[in-house]
Amino acid sequence: MAARKPKVVVTRKLPAPVEARLSALFDAVLNPDDHPMSPAELSLALADADVLAPTITDRLDAAALESAGPNLKLIANFGAGVDHIDVVAANKLGITVTNTPGVLTEDTADMTLALILAASRRLVEGANIMQSGAFAGWTPTWMLGRRLRGAKLGIVGLGRIGHALARRARAFGMEIHYHNRKPVSPRIQEELEATYWDSLDQMLARMDIISVNCPHTPATYHLLSARRLRLLQKHAIIVNTARGEVIDEAAMADMLAAGELGGAGLDVYEHEPVVNPKLLRLPNVVLLPHMSSATIEGRIDMGEKVMINIQTFLDGHRPPDRVIPSMM
């Protein structure tokens, strides 16, 4: 008799090649209609699975994890961010957590730069004017944006994505500045010609563009608070492709509406999928539906990492992308 395949519950619909491979390797329980699992469905999945493969839409806090059955030993997250998973609680229950770092770096950096361009050069405003038929002809002082060459870009979190963004921004002639808990290596700093700011407050006050590229943790919740947002120059643009919770969204919306900020390019939101209504009405804000990592190649690469983590774990080895609670 053939050995029982491990049951892997996948909470959202994944690209077809990923689902086909999962089904070949494991007893894969898929989500063909791609509905977000309710708390009750998630509880059943936790109780029944050997491996759970969740996404950012699944809230796995300590209370939810109490539903885990005795066979659940691995949560193989489909995504790099794990702020939706209580990794400490999982560890206490003997459940290993993995993620998919690295594969989304270039895609997210591409979209971050696209938002910088769109917000600085008013691309969405211009496209809306054309599509509405309101274009009446060129004039010298109409639809003026801001030049990127020479602009000071402040990166909040110079990790993989921040580094990839900095390389792209250098090609546009931007000055690179960054704030981390500690400086990056001298080699990387020299490569990027980047200036390190120990004080986030001082960096914010001097930048033309701020890009948020740090993860959401208890320490970074509202890192860009109302107080810090008021330090920004009036023409400054904020771009966020990380997590909405890092910015006080209500305070930012109020400042944008009052003309106290130059603009924003946002792909993530504090109460996602709900977006502050003020942001929806502002012409100087570019809003995207959490799509900075949405490429076919990136999603397939994520799936490959999920499967490698699962197979490595089931083979009795430490998975390559294990999330250590002390890292959170």
The tens digit of pLDDT for each residue in 38-55 reads 999 999 999 999 999 999
Placement of tokens 């930048």 in the chain:
207
Q: What is the pLDDT of residues 158-191, one digit of tens each?
A: 999 999 999 999 999 999 999 999 999 999 999 9
**pLDDT given for residue 2 in this prediction:** 56
State residue 280 phi and psi, 5-degree precision: -65, -20
Cα 4 to Cα 10, 23, 254, 268, 318, distances in angstroms: 18, 13, 57, 41, 22
Q: What pLDDT, in 10s, does the model give residues 93-131?
A: 999 999 999 999 999 999 999 999 999 999 999 999 999
Say yes or no to pLDDT of 3 above 80. no
Proportion of the chain above pLDDT 70, given as a percent: 98
Cis check for the bond before 186: say yes or no (omega within 30 of 0). no
CA 71 to chain CA centroid, nearest Å: 31
Asked if 269 and 275 count as a contact pair (C-beta separation under 8 A), the reply is yes
Residue 328 has pLDDT above 50, yes or no: no
Residue 1 has pLDDT above 80, yes or no: no
User: What contacts 24+ positions apart, CB below 8 Å, involve 41-49?
Assistant: 42/11, 42/67, 43/67, 45/9, 45/11, 46/72, 47/72, 48/7, 48/9, 49/7, 49/8, 49/9
User: Per-residue b/e over 14-34, b at no fewer than 16 CB within 10 Å?
Assistant: bbeebbebbeeebebbbbeee
pLDDT tens per residue across span 19-38:
999 999 999 999 999 999 99
The 8-class DSSP code of residue 113 comes to: H
Q: For residue 239, which amino acid is it?
A: V
Residue pLDDT, tens place only, 147-161: 999 999 999 999 999
Which alpha helices (DSSP H) does the chain contain, by range? Answer: 16-25, 39-48, 62-65, 87-92, 105-121, 123-132, 160-171, 186-192, 200-204, 226-229, 249-257, 277-281, 296-314
- Note the maximum CA span of the chain: 79
Q: What is the pLDDT of residue 326?
A: 64
Domains of the chain listed by start with CATH number: 7-103+295-327 (3.40.50.720), 105-287 (3.40.50.720)
Q: What is the DSSP letter of 247?
A: B
Amino acid at position 121, single letter = R
Strand partners, 196: 178
Q: Taking each helix axis from N to C terminus, what angle separates 296-314 and 16-25, rounded to the nearest 10 degrees?
A: 10
Mean pLDDT over the full length of the chain? 96
Which residues are marked as active site?
243, 272, 290
- Count CB atoms within 10 A of the CB of residue 183: 15
Q: What digits encode the pLDDT tens for the residues 200-223?
A: 999 999 999 999 999 999 999 999
